[in-house]
Structure 1
Amino acid sequence: MSPSKTAKKKAGTTPARPKKEATRKEVHSLEPVDTPAVGQSNGQPQSQQQEGRYVYGVIEARDSVGFGRIGIGGLGESVYSVHHGDVAAVVSKTPVFIFDPTRENALAHEHVIETVMKSNTIIPMSFGTVFRTDDDIREVLKSIYPSLKDVLKQMANKLEFGLKVTWDRDRIVEELKRENEEIHRFQHELTRKHLQSTYFARMQLGRMIDKALSERAAEVVREIYDGLRTVCVASRDNKVIGDKMIMNAAFLIQKDKETEFDAAVNAVAQKFGDRLNFKYTGPWPPYNFVNIRLKLERGSAN
């Protein structure tokens, strides 16, 4: 079957962000901002709360850039750039507090990222990243400038796509019982000796099926990667969730190769027909392929 591709700009809900499991570089950090939770004002009205800066990501830009009054929080705050040389953080003003990861807030965060991506390569920050001042941001941009330049160069004109593949586990188990010679022979022996209901027999059969499922899943995943390897710059495995998912991967694609990658995903999906279900999401900024995280993020609420 053809994969269902969820484009961020078309989705009714925010697609799940791939877990970032890359080893992060240790870099300069600031002291955390003391951030009361949303709804808490430390006895002060919101207008008197300490003002901070919500950071969405880092781009390459020497001149000031504005992205409109689309800042998180629903107050129509302008999204603008804070610079050190030719790198800049994309920020908006906000009271200093913890942002709950509600659907509204998550969509607002992603909308800014999406807007910036239209004209820039962006190193995305985690949701809820808040700092005190523009000067704090400039300080950290300066301290890790070489690393930022290197990452921005590597990620220039590249996009990330996610691919999750699931199967009907019960259907595959029945296939294995018919096709796997070892399992078929063991079942026949159990039937012959009337041992199907014994605890030991069930445990042994279960282990055999689990082993065969794991081997079949690995074989299928290899085939999928083989079909996509030539049209991507890099790929990354993420942890699968549940017993139906066999693949949870991220692919880094040259921006001008998106159509070619789409075609390759469809070709792989058609090869497996209705035996597999493909969920294809993107484009995203390169969450899974950025090996640096600004320790500015320690200023965010954790």
Structure 2
Amino acid sequence: MDRVAVLGAGSWGTAFAKVLADSGTPTALWARRDTVADEISTSRVNSGYLPGVRLPDNLTATASAEQALDGARAVVLAVPSQTLRENLAAWRPALPPDSTLVSLAKGVELGTLKRMSEVVREVADVPEDRVAVVSGPNLAREIGAEQPTATVIACTDHDRAVELQRACTNPYFRPYTNTDVVGCELGGACKNVIALACGMAAGLGFGDNTMASIITRGLAETARLGAALGADPLTLAGLAGLGDLVATCASPLSRNRTFGERLGRGDTLAQAQEAAHGQVAEGVKSCTSIHALAARVGVDMPITDGVRRVCHDGLDPRVLTAALLGRETKAER
């Protein structure tokens, strides 16, 4: 792959741009602010989002989206899920013909209830075989430190997935391919919500039995939604499902986990957001859209609904715990 553009210089966008460059792929990273692009170009660091990580010399940075996109074979969209539509609409005129559009965002769009690949297809007006997604246990700070990890690149066009796989394979980053875009996206979106629940449990002082129960039952409700929307169940048992879920629910580096922990300790949503320097975890917004999507297809997702009620209806996490444990008993499957 001759050249890749990564649009978005946050933690994950910067880390993935580093992965591409370390794999020998010439990469251009677009930053919204000139100061970020200048720092990367002159000092080879992005201190605001990936501190302490030296970025490779074959990674260029620019605040001009048109410059980053010029001649790119693949365009990696590394912006939050709820801003993807607006950003992509602005970038559309400069998208190179036949480029592969790759989404790093993990969420379901509010209002439309579309997955990120569906948003990309609609806004860019491209067929589904030009859209790929990346999902897996990929905490940006660990990847920046070159700690070993694996991921999934999903695209309905297997050849495009393989091309992307080759572009980002290196000694610390191992990508697998998959054609199940639906399953990979649902695993990535739902795990943020389940991680909020795990954080709340930690904030309430609960231990590993509780965490394991939430992770397992969270995976079960994600799999129910996946089955209703045509996902392959094996995808959700893999890196984009269980793998991403475990990493996000267990790690203190997970924004959703730490945000939920503050809620479990009694913080309001506003207080938790203030403690996170004004940033809202993806699951706080996605819990609403995922719950609505599940309702549309008749799927019961009690943990997701409970997280939504804590975040947006003011439900006390202790009341949520009692409500979940007090549900009618039933067979596991």
Indicate the TM-score class for this superposition, using the shorter chain for normalisation: 0.3 to 0.5
Greater CA radius of gyration, 1 or 2? 1
Higher normalized contact order (CA 8 Å, seq sep 6+, divided by chain length): 1
Q: Say which structure is richer in helix.
A: 2
TM-score (norm 2): 0.30
TM-score (norm 1): 0.32
